[in-house]
Amino acid sequence: MIAQRVGRLGTLEPQAEIEGVPSPLGVTLVESKQAYNFALFSRYATGVTLLLYTEADPVNPVFKYHFNPRINKTGPIWHCWVPLAATQGATLYAYRLEGPFEPQARHRFDPQKILLDPYARSVFFPPGFSRMACTQPGPTDGVAPLGVLPTITTTFDWGSDDRPRHGHDTIIYELHVKGFTARANSGVSPEKRGTFAGLMEKIPYLQDLGVTVVELLPVHQFDPQEGNYWGYMTLNFFAPHQQYAYGDPLLEFREMVKAFHAVGIEVWLDVVYNHTSEGNEQGPTYGYRGIDNKSYYLLAADPQYYLNDTGCGNTLRSAHPAVRALILESLHFWANEMHIDGFRFDLASIFTRNSNGSLNLYEPSLITEISSFGHYADVRLIAEAWDIGSYQLGRSFPGFSWLQWNGKFRDDIRAFVKSDPGKVADLMQRLYGSDDLFPDTLLEAYRPFQSVNFITSHDGFCMYDLVAYNHKHNEVNGHGNNDGSDHNLSWNCGWEGDLDVPEEIMLLRRRQIKNFCCLLMLANGTPMFCAGDEFLNTQRGNNNPYNQDNEITWLDWDRLAQNRDIFRFFKNMIAFRKAHPSIGRGRYWREDIHWYGVGAHVDLAYHSHTLAYCLHGESYRDDDIYVMINAYWEELVFVIQEGEATDWYRVVDTSLPGPLDIAAPGEEGRLSSLKYLVAPRTIVVLLRPRRSR
């Protein structure tokens, strides 16, 4: 009999219909043969049993297959072939594994546990699903999540789906799928609030704002009973989170991506490949722990405990071939089958861990493999280059072509705007593109766009709370206000909180928000801000609302109507940045930037709070931009150091009320003097058109 090629199974030898094949991992429907192939990695199991269920009875399997290792095992892969006719109408599947339960030897096999296939493309939660039950000794029949068997389906019609790729005009907007539209005042259809479909209804809003990338907080299926609202407790790395879907999760997610692409907006995912929802040794057994604990997880010196460099109970053993294969297969799935444009890797520095937990900053295998994947799949790779045990921001992180969240930008800009002393030099460094972290030497040749500049993200104060609270207010999280960072670099402008705020305090807060927006949009690099910052959304001073699935974290769209002037300011600053490619360059500003102070020279004294600069745009066929920054608490006269007064047009003065604070294109006011009185805590932006030079 001649071997046949069948889809991703590759060459199908005749004996496959007896033994199954070891690749690909997971379950594969072979339509031409009307059969399933199952493949599961477990190096140390002594026995494996496949279980098939119907949705009507997810407790008692209608089909069992006990793998014969002499027939159904190749290396560490257990595999079998099951004709559809033998499945008795089953739609769900899981495994039981036998082996030693010896935590001191790194093994936690338990044949009483029902185990979810790590490669399942969809997850079923039985009516009796219970995280607590899965943490206890004893059987987990009917309480553990199950995989869904694939069925014969039509291929999703992507049409032309021209996947957008943005350059200098990249504006990242970080949002939570549920929190973005969960409130009734979101204007989204009631049945679609908090879903992928709900996001589609808000696309016109995002177009109007001008963002070009939406970065979604984790959408991989996470444990719905763990209590992590943000989604950073992944159960399965392939299935979209069911609770974010109005209809079929896979179909709805694809429709959402296609809709974003149709209007030129990229879709990036925040992905969590550093730990799982199984937690520490006291956590539930859903799959990885019971399938091959030693291979999947990094363990402590006393191996009955888990290494917790993630702060989430466990750490995936990312140097192990099985874990690397799982992560890469997941990335390929989301890039190729879901058309994702970029991946932001949570705690990416975990990928530099060797199999014993030590650091490898030279050539860690997983980062090299992901880098190659990114090149061939044409997707963006973004690192959060730190974790509990390692801080690798900038050149220390071995993903040389990756973008990185720049935590130094966040801290330095916050400190300068709140008028901390000794920050002028740091401000210059961050505006320039952070070449101290991303050097453009002959050897390293980093680019400024690799710095993802942000002042706020989901983690920490939102922008309004940054100017409304001196201290975190996390009491509702249930940890005695001991969770969340105490290093917020926030300033409440003289009044703690959002209740009965005096008018003069509120005016100052609005000005500070505009100052943050200005510096973010004027800096070389790739800007990112958090959903709701553009209309002063608040989380009531909670800087760690990871477990608040309620109105603390759901965007309050009434604040958009109340703060239209701030929305307009964000929108116009975004448009200004896009209109001037000399700001967000592929290279550093170098000779095109001239630094000044209130006069001809930069004041770098410890107690200085001022800076001015002129960015020449000729090399980019762009206009010249002159910026005057006063973080002092008194007004100061700046003397413009270049050109004639009538060469310059005022675009921005953050001390002015809207709509005077930022001019629409063509409505800029011409200056009559080279002296400009800059109000306290104010930024002024001037423009010299090319024709005036």
The answer, yes or no, to whether residue 443 has pLDDT greater than 60, is yes
Which tokens go with 481? 């206000």
The average pLDDT across 192-215 equals 98
Residue type for position 130 = S
SS (H, E, C) 160-185: CCCCCCCCCCCCEEEECHHHHHCCHH
Which tokens go with 176? 């939570």
291, containing H or E segment:
helix 288-296
The answer, yes or no, to whether residue 162 has pLDDT greater than 60, is yes
State the DSSP string of 554-577: S--THHHHHTHHHHHHHHHHHHHH
For tokens 């006069």, the residue is: 599
Supply the angle between the helices 288-296 and 321-332 in degrees, to the nearest 10: 120
Listed by start position, the domains of the chain span: 4-148, 172-579, 591-692
Is 4-148 in CATH node 2.60.40.10? yes
CA angle centred on 363, ends 359 and 366, rounded to 5°: 85
Distance between CA atoms of residues 290 and 285, nearest Å: 6
DSSP β-bridge partners for residue 639: 675
Distance between CA atoms of residues 290 and 459, nearest Å: 32
Instruction: State how far the alpha carbon of 225 is from the alpha carbons of 130, 241, 276, in Å.
Output: 8, 13, 14
For tokens 């001019």, the residue is: 663
**How high is the pLDDT of residue 692?**
63
- In the chain, the percentage of residues whose pLDDT exceeds 90 is 95
Contact 403, 431 (CB under 8 A): no
- pLDDT tens across 107-130, in order? 999 999 999 999 999 999 999 999
Residue type for position 362 = Y
Residue type for position 60 = N
**How high is the pLDDT of residue 442?**
93
**How high is the pLDDT of residue 693?**
56
Assign 12 a pLDDT band (cuts: 50, 70, 90). Answer: confident
The average pLDDT across 590-602 equals 98
Distance between CA atoms of residues 20 and 367, nearest Å: 32
The average pLDDT across 88-105 equals 97
172-579: CATH architecture:
Alpha-Beta Barrel (3.20)
Distance between CA atoms of residues 8 and 333, nearest Å: 13
Which tokens go with 225? 């009973």
Instruction: State how far the alpha carbon of 192 is from the alpha carbons of 175, 182, 183, in Å.
Output: 16, 9, 11
Q: What is the pTM of this model?
A: 0.97
Which tokens go with 252? 């709805």
CA angle centred on 426, ends 268 and 585, rounded to 5°: 45
**How high is the pLDDT of residue 551?**
97
Same fold, 172-579 and 591-692: no
**How high is the pLDDT of residue 520?**
98
The answer, yes or no, to whether residue 647 has pLDDT greater than 80, is yes
Please give the DSSP secondary-structure letter assigned to residue 85: G
Q: Is residue 680 reached through a cis peptide bond, with omega within 30 degrees of 0 on the bond before it?
A: no
Contact 12, 5 (CB under 8 A): yes
Identify the residue with better confidence: 107 or 160.
107
Identify the residue with better confidence: 26 or 692.
26
| 340 CB neighbour count, 10 Å cutoff | 24
Distance between CA atoms of residues 309 and 605, nearest Å: 40
Assign 437 a pLDDT band (cuts: 50, 70, 90). Answer: very high
- pLDDT tens across 38-69, in order? 999 999 999 999 999 999 999 999 999 999 99
- pLDDT tens across 498-543, in order? 999 999 999 999 999 999 999 999 999 999 999 999 999 999 999 9
Positions annotated as catalytic residues are 346, 384
**How high is the pLDDT of residue 167?**
96
List helix spans (H) across 378-527: 407-417, 424-432, 463-466, 503-522
The average pLDDT across 624-652 equals 98
Contact 10, 16 (CB under 8 A): no
* Phi-psi sector, 291: left (phi>0), alpha (psi -120 to 50), beta: alpha
The average pLDDT across 168-175 equals 98
Identify the residue with better confidence: 124 or 154.
124
Assign 2 a pLDDT band (cuts: 50, 70, 90). Answer: very low
* Phi-psi sector, 274: left (phi>0), alpha (psi -120 to 50), beta: alpha
Mean pLDDT score across all residues of the chain: 96
Burial of 343 (0-12, 13-18, 19+ CB in 10 A): buried
Nearest alpha-carbon partner for 541 in 462, 455, 477:
462
DSSP β-bridge partners for residue 326: none
Distance between CA atoms of residues 417 and 67, nearest Å: 64
Burial of 173 (0-12, 13-18, 19+ CB in 10 A): buried
The answer, yes or no, to whether residue 349 has pLDDT greater than 70, is yes
The average pLDDT across 622-627 equals 98
**φ, ψ of residue 206 in degrees (nearest 5):** -70, -35
Task: Supply the CATH classification number for the domain 591-692.
Answer: 2.60.40.1180
The average pLDDT across 557-564 equals 98
Q: Could you tell me the sign of the dihedral formed by the alpha carbons of 428, 390, 454, 621, in that order?
A: positive
Assign 13 a pLDDT band (cuts: 50, 70, 90). Answer: confident
Let me know how long the chain is.
Answer: 693
Residue 5, SS3 per DSSP: strand
List helix spans (H) across 312-438: 321-332, 365-377, 407-417, 424-432
59-91 b/e (C-beta count within 10 Å ≥ 16 → b): eebbbebebeeeebbeebbbbbbbebeebeebb
Distance between CA atoms of residues 237 and 240, nearest Å: 8
Which tokens go with 493? 């402008």
249-260 b/e (C-beta count within 10 Å ≥ 16 → b): bbebbbbbbbbb
Residue type for position 376 = Y
**How high is the pLDDT of residue 155?**
85
Residue type for position 647 = D
Distance between CA atoms of residues 184 and 33, nearest Å: 49
CA angle centred on 587, ends 581 and 592, rounded to 5°: 70
The average pLDDT across 322-334 equals 98
